[in-house]
Every structure is written in C-alpha cells, then in structure tokens.
C-alpha cells in the first residue's frame, strides 16, 4: 500500500497542470529559505531554477543509472549520497523509489506534456509514502547547490534529494544523518549497524571469514551495504588519511566477491580466491591508494578477463577495490541493510514478519502509564508496553527492529531530537498471557541510542518471550514500530491486561486469589526408552484445568527443562501435578509424575518420581527438581 504524502496525488496534480498548461509549483515545499534551512540562510543568495533553465536537453537519466551519477554538494549528507550510490546498483530497488520512471522522463517530442512535477517513494514507519515535488532546484552562480550528477543534464539524483528533503522538513535536515536510516527508507528492509573494532574482527581470522560470508550473502540477496571510519573528534571529521580514505565519511559498498587469481585456464582450477570488497566515495574522488587500488601492481595477478568481469577501472572516480582483510583493518563501522524475504515463492530463506505499532504514553493514570524508562528505573520499568512472542523451533535466529517516529522533520518546532530508545528481551512462562509485574530472565536486548531505530540479531531457544521497548529516561512520549522476524510464525501480540478480567460468571465461579509460578528445573535418572538408554522427555504441568507443556529434550536421561508455567488459582489447596513423558513417533510413553505440596510460599525441592495414576503405584527411578513461587497478591502493579 502506498500513502500520498500530505494527501498530494501525483496523477491528479499532473493532470490539472497539463489541462491548464502550467508548470507545477509545490506550495507545501515553496521556493524559499524555509525549504532550505531551519532558521537562517547559511549559504548566501539562492536562485531556484528548473532543469530546462540549466541545460537545453534535461533528462532524468543519461545512459541509465549508476553510483557515478551522485556527487555530494554543500550539505553534510554523505550518508544520504552513499545510500543513493548503493541504491543505484539495484534496479529492482531504485525502480521502487523512482516509480514509473519512463513516464516521468522528459518527452522532447511532446514538450506540452511536461508539467514540471515528479514523485518518489520512501518507506517510512511501516508504509511506502509517495512524495510529490516540483522540479525547481536551488542554485548558486548557475550551479546546483546540493547533490548533482557527472552529466550536467542528468537530474534524478537532485530530484530524489529534494523529495527526501521535503519529507524530512527541509534540506538542512539532511545535514548530518544516519546511513542506516536512508537504506531502510529506500528498501523497507532492516539495518544492522556493526562495530568492527569492538567485535574484534581484526584479530580473529575465523570471525573475519564468517563476517565476509554474511556480507557476501546480504549483497548477493539484493541488500544494501555502507561503511565508514569513525571520527572521534571534530577535527577528525573528513580528515584524509595517508591511505587515501576519509574519516567520518560514509562509503557505499558497490560489490562483494571472491576474485580468482592467476591467468589462463590454470586459474579456473585453482582453489584460492581473494575475498574482495568494492566501495565508492560520495565525493566522486579520493580513493584508497593501498594494495589492490586502481593502478596497483597487484592487479597483474588477475587475468584481463577477470578484471573486465569485475569492472576494474583506472580513474579517479571515487570507486575502488580492496581486500576484505584491509577493509577490516581500516574501517570501523559497517551497516548491513537486509531485504527481508517474506515470499513463499522464493529459493532463499523466507522470514515470518510480525509488525506491532505502539506508543509510549502517559495519561495521568499510574495503572496505564506506558513511559517507564529503561530497567534502571526499577519502579516504573515494567509499566512500559510489553509484547509476547513464541520461538517454536529448538533454536531460531530472531531479528528484532525497534523504530521510533522520526522527529527530524519537526526540528523547527523544537521537537527534533530523537529519543534514546532500546528494548529488553525476557524469557517467561510458557503460558503467559498477562503483563509481567516482576522481572524475569533477561536473555538479550539492544543498546540505548538516540537513533531512529535499534536492531538486534539473536539466537533463542524454544519458548515464550516478552519484548519490552522503552525510552532510556522515563516520562518521554512517542510512537514506535516493532518488527520481529522469525523462521516460523511467532504469534506476536501485545500484553494489554494486567490480570484475568472479571466477568458476569466471576461471582458464581470464583476469581483467582493466588498466582503461582512453577519452574521445572531438571530431571535426573529417567528410565531409558531405547537401546542407548536415553529418552526424549517433556513435562506437562496441570492445575485447575490449565495445562502447560514444555519443549521436548532430545536424547537424554538427565534433561535440563528450565521451563516455567503460570497458574492463576481459585483453590489454594488444589495440587499441581507434573507428569513426564517420552516423545515417541506413534504414542508417547509415561515416565513418572510428582504432585506438588499445596502449601503457599516459595520453595525449591528435588522430588522422587512416582507411577501412580498411569497404571503403576510404585516409586520410579529418577528425580525432578522444581522451584515454586506463589504470590498471595494477584499482581503487583
């Protein structure tokens, strides 16, 4: 679904201009300083000109689209230009950002059809937004002030930049930003920022090889990649290093591959290949001058056909190759923007996506305060929104992205700084359906940062989990979008109720007076069910008609279940039974049971299994360790 920005319909506006024989003028983004700056003019005299005033033969594209069409202007928006450079290398992606581009191209045979109007699409906060602009561009001394192409009559990069600036509030809003955000806006994917220094890739060959495989996979599957060298001081920003690279500068990764060494037929039978990565500087100049730079001797080790195949050119165009080892040695930050495949008609991994829209809000009622801040705020942390999801495989790779509504566009009104956001992940009871009121086992989470989005990739074991998205400080309000990607459906939903609701039957049937958490820790010495003397055991907990089943533990007589169930109890003396079964292909077999004592309070006990209730009345081999926590107060809100 595509949503028109501010209700402006491209087709309706173009038709109206064509019928009236006028060129479109966008009143929402006028040709004035308010479209350029937040407060005051920082450049000087600006003249807005249409492409036909700048050249005799304007075109959207000249000889197609490529990363070489982009050159950064008088804005510190290398992050945006780098993202555009990556976008230009992916036809399927740029055709989404520049829709029906052929009909938007200048038709010099029918000049009367031109209406001076364009539209572009960006993914914002869970939906594609169609942004309409006129073709008037800011110039100084007859030259474009901001992003421009190598060819003076090519305008796609300048027009895309204008549409993005309109969506962000003004051109100055693009001065300093996050490449990860732009990559997501161009694709609807998820960006994973990586600290190459902190994670120790430089000194660990195995980790470096694993990272290359990951980068190669993202590239081969159509994702976008960017990188930079961190500037630690203001003086370091855009400082040129002896190797030709620039600090504090976003580079677009335009290719990743293994390069075959050697010449002739022999090269095809050699197993050794060099792991290589190609980048582009948004300035269109200043390249890496180390090994494997454009004119270095190393390229003689590669056949002419291989050089032509990977597009090695000897010119100062800002694009260059380097080995992945040199890349890790010099760059400090990497951004992988994955295109999450949710189509079942694909040869690649298909992800299941859950999208949750929510907000941090506070209406004065302490029971519905949802602005609790991070876990440092012990008394309010669990008042934040909570979302439960299931991992249904023995282990699954989970991708989680939390995004806040971007505030940069409201900077003029004084609300332009993004909140510091993050989230925690807790492993909870297998049957939890109401909100947490006591912290449980934290198994992961994100760092807190005032960026538009935070991302975590984590491996989780089978079970139920709760995500708690928060702002760092309590009391801050804002909207957010939570996206969770799993291998199988996670049944993600918000936990909105604090406790079981009262109904018209409550007076007759009773209402829970106790809440008991049963934690099955481990079992030992279970009877073996095969020639190897092992089982595939699982546990079923029952109380007052409620049933909780644990995941199956494979090939063991001493399983570590580490599974929890939660029971809202109306009858305090009604026992909780726990039975252990062995999972078989045809019919599961009984291994033993215990009945928990009915007394209240907290305890952990190791109990001997018995066979009563399943055709046996004697003690069985094996024990079960159980921990119980019972609260006499239903909830602690």
Active site residues: 78, 249, 281
Task: Fill in the DSSP letter of residue 301.
Answer: G
Pair of tokens at residue 213: 């495989």
Q: Measure the CA–CA gap between 274 and 261, rounded to whole angstroms.
A: 7
- What is the helix (H) or strand (E) element at residue 422, kind and residue range? strand 421-428
Q: DSSP letters of 459-484?
A: EEEEEEEEEEEEESSTT--EEEEEEE
Q: Measure the CA–CA gap between 406 and 418, rounded to whole angstroms.
A: 7
Interior CA angle at 238 toward 233 and 243, to 5°? 105
**Residues 55, 143 contacting (CB under 8 angstroms):** no
The maximal CA–CA distance of the chain, rounded, in angstroms, is 97
Pair of tokens at residue 595: 């009945």
**Residue 428, beta-bridge partner list:** 464
- CA 84 to chain CA centroid, Å, is 19
Q: Measure the CA–CA gap between 275 and 628, rounded to whole angstroms.
A: 54
Place of tokens 């165009």: 317
- What is the helix (H) or strand (E) element at residue 104, kind and residue range? helix 101-104
**Residues 592, 579 contacting (CB under 8 angstroms):** yes
Exposure letters 42-77 (e unless 16+ CB within 10 A, then b): ebeebebbebeebeeebbbbbeebbbbbbbbbebbb
φ, ψ at 5 (rounded to 5°): -70, 125
Interior CA angle at 618 toward 613 and 621, to 5°? 105
């Amino acid at each position: 679904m595509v949503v028109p920005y501010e209700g402006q319909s491209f087709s309706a506006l173009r038709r109206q201009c064509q019928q009236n024989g006028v060129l479109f003028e966008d009143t929402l983004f006028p040709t004035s300083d308010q479209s350029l700056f937040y407060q005051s003019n920082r450049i000087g005299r600006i003249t807005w000109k249409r492409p036909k005033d700048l050249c005799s033969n304007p075109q959207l594209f000249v000889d197609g689209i490529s990363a070489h069409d982009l050159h950064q202007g008088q804005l510190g928006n290398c992050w945006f230009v780098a993202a555009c450079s990556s976008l230009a290398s992916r036809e399927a992606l740029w055709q989404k950002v520049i829709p029906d581009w052929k009909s938007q191209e200048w038709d010099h045979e029918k000049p009367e059809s031109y209406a001076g109007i364009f539209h572009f699409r960006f993914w914002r906060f869970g939906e594609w937004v169609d942004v309409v602009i006129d073709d008037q561009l800011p110039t100084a001394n007859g030259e474009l002030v901001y992003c421009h192409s190598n060819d003076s009559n090519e305008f796609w990069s300048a027009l895309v930049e204008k549409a993005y600036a309109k969506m962000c509030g003004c051109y100055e809003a693009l001065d300093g930003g996050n490449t990860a955000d732009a990559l997501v806006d161009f694709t609807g994917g998820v960006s994973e920022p990586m600290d190459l220094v902190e994670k120790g890739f430089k000194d660990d060959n195995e980790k470096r090889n694993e990272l290359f495989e990951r980068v190669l996979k993202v590239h081969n599957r159509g994702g976008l990649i960017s990188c930079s060298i961190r500037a630690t001081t203001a003086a370091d920003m855009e400082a040129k290093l002896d190797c030709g690279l620039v600090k504090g500068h976003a580079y677009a990764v335009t290719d990743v591959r293994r390069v075959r060494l050697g010449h002739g037929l022999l090269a095809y039978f050699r197993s050794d290949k060099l792991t290589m990565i190609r980048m582009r500087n948004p300035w269109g100049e200043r390249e890496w001058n180390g090994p494997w730079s454009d004119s270095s001797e190393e390229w003689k080790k590669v056949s002419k056909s291989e050089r032509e195949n990977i597009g090695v050119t000897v010119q100062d165009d800002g694009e260059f190759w380097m080995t992945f080892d040199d890349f890790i040695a010099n760059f400090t930050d990497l951004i992988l923007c994955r295109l999450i495949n949710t189509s079942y008609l694909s040869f690649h991994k298909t992800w299941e996506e859950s999208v949750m829209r929510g907000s941090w809000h506070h209406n004065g009622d302490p029971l519905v305060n949802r602005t609790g801040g991070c876990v440092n705020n012990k008394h309010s942390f669990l008042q934040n929104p909570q979302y439960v999801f299931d991992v249904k495989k023995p282990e699954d790779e989970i991708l989680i992205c939390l995004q806040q509504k971007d505030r940069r566009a409201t900077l003029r009104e004084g609300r332009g700084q993004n909140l510091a956001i993050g989230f925690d992940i807790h492993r909870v009871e297998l049957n939890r359906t109401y909100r947490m009121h006591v912290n449980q086992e934290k198994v992961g989470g994100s760092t807190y940062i005032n960026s538009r989005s935070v991302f975590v990739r984590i491996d989780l074991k089978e079970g139920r989990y709760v995500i708690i998205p928060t702002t760092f400080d309590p009391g801050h309000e804002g909207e957010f979008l939570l996206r969770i990607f799993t291998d199988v459906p996670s049944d993600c939903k918000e936990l909105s109720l604090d406790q079981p609701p009262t109904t018209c039957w409550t007076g007759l049937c009773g209402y829970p007076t106790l809440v008991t958490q049963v934690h099955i820790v481990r079992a030992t010495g279970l009877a073996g069910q095969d020639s190897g003397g092992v089982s595939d055991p699982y546990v079923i907990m029952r109380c007052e008609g409620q049933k909780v089943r644990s995941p199956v533990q494979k090939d063991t007589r001493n399983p570590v279940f580490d599974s929890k169930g939660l029971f809202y109890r109306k009858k305090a003396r009604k026992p909780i039974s726990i039975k252990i079964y062995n999972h078989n292909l045809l019919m599961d077999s009984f291994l033993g049971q215990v009945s928990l004592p009915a007394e209240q309070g907290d305890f952990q006990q190791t109990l001997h299994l018995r066979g009563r209730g399943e055709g046996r009345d004697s003690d069985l081999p094996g024990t079960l360790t159980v921990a119980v926590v019972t609260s006499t107060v239903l909830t602690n809100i």
